[in-house]
Amino acid sequence: MKLLVFHIGQDRYGLRLRAVRQVLPLLELKRLPLAPAAVAGLMNLHGEPVPVIDLARLGGAEPSAPHFDTRIVVVDYHAPDGGGHALGLMAERVLGVREVDETRLADSGVRAAPFLGGVAGDDAGLVQLVEVERLLPPDLRAALFQAHADDAADGAP
């Protein structure tokens, strides 16, 4: 399985490459007053507003620093209700794509963050899988995508 590997603090994490639409340099974001702490802002993606989540903040760390290798990873987020959305993920120290043997993924045994999956080791240490579908807790998902759910319920385009 191919993973896009990045850091939160000193620890390595990976996103399944099949969930990644594109990787962008750190862009200027529109700040959203009173948004939850994990929301970094909105980006303009080909004329469409896309919310951006700071993975470091979501993971309980300090906000991502604007380093030369901090990126915005645009993923396809599929909500439990079946709705699909573009979602930007701000990630520090994006290292690139690594091949990880899926059969070597082991359960970490820790259930602190529901979006974290299995752990695998390689010559650089451990990398833990981030499950995009489990990334947003219900309150954050509602804050980001409630307008889409309301439009769908009203039959609006």
- Residue 49 backbone phi and psi in degrees, to 5: -75, 130
Residue 135: which domain range? Answer: 2-154
What gap in Å lies between CA 24 and CA 87, rounded to an integer? 12
pLDDT of residue 153: 44
Instruction: Report the chain's terminal Cα–Cα distance, integer Å.
Output: 36
**Count of domains observed in the chain:** 1
Q: Distance between CA 72 and CA 54 in Å, rounded?
A: 9
**pLDDT tens for the 157 residues of the chain, in order:** 899 999 988 889 999 999 999 999 998 899 988 889 899 999 999 999 999 999 999 888 899 888 889 999 999 998 777 778 899 999 999 988 988 888 787 787 777 778 888 888 777 788 888 999 888 888 888 888 865 444 444 444 5
Closest CA relative to residue 94, chosen from 72, 116, 119? 72
pLDDT of residue 150: 47
CATH number for the domain including 29?
2.40.50.180
